[in-house]
A = this chain, B = another copy of it.
Amino acid sequence: MVERESINQVALLQSLAQGYLGGTIKVKDIRAVGDTGIGTFEGVNGEMIVLDGTVYQALGDGRVVVADDKVVVPYATVTMFDDDVALDLTNVADKTAFENALNKAVKEYGENSFYMVKMHAEFSSILFRSEYGSQQPYPTLLEALKGKQTEFTAKNIKGTLVGLYCPNYMGGLNTPGWHFHFISDDKKQGGHILELSLNKGTVHFDKTDKFTMMLPDDKHFHEFNLAKDMKEEIRSAEQDKQAGMK
């Protein structure tokens, strides 16, 4: 039986940041424990969006494909989505305003839990990123993203945002706060959200009181000193923007 009430994480965001871009856990293993979530692929070959049980791969060239079950996943967080609570939003000017609204809800429902969120909406404007993959020997995440990122802006586009909230004590295994990915309704565009605006939308929250970390069964994984502070590198990798949207 699959544990619906667990956030299931492959490895650590810290191992990805340090350059553990391979692994032993596969798309098939991800699908077994979650129908909704975000992540990346071997070599950081694009952004992962898991929606309704399908694992989508948003590639550096702008295409979106359904990932093969055999593709390796160095980092991801997924869960079986349950619609616990909903939050109606109007006139969201930017990502900061969006996060502020979500933070208010999290404060009410419990800041020390995990939340997966999902919102289907028409975005007035959205800026998202993907990237071309790196080859072995793998560099760090920051190096892997350097010069390999591609950004896409879309106006009045219908699609779904999938996001994860980690509590503030998760700085050693992940990063506290929010992280959002996007996939369009036609499943042709997607990536890591850098900016967004929308007139109307409803965010659905899956409040989750269990966190499971699945470590790769791999000698290479044990060579990393994962206690190293990667906060700045993670912030830079997740939030770096080549161009503003406004």
A residues adjacent to B (C-beta < 8 A): 1, 6, 12, 14-15, 110-113, 167-173, 176, 209-217, 219, 221-222, 224-227
Contact = CB atoms under 8 A, between A and B. Distances in A.
Contact of A222 (B111, B173, B212): B111
B225 A168 contact: yes
A48 B246 CA distance: 57
A45 to B, nearest CB: 23
Most buried by B among A110, A215, A216, A225: A215
A215 to B, nearest CB: 4
Contacts of A209: 214-217
A227 B110 contact: no
A20 to B, nearest CB: 10
Contacts of A112: 15, 215, 221-222, 224, 226
Nearest to A173: B169
**Which 3 A-B pairs rank lowest in CB-CB distance, beginning with the nearest?**
A168-B227, A172-B172, A169-B226
Nearest to A230: B169
A139 to B, nearest CB: 20
Contact of A167 (B6, B110, B212, B226): B226
A42 to B, nearest CB: 19
A12 B169 contact: yes
Most buried by B among A6, A169, A173, A212: A169
Contacts of A113: 215, 222
A212 B15 CA distance: 18
B176 A173 contact: no
Contacts of A225: 168
A227 B176 contact: yes
A168 B222 contact: no
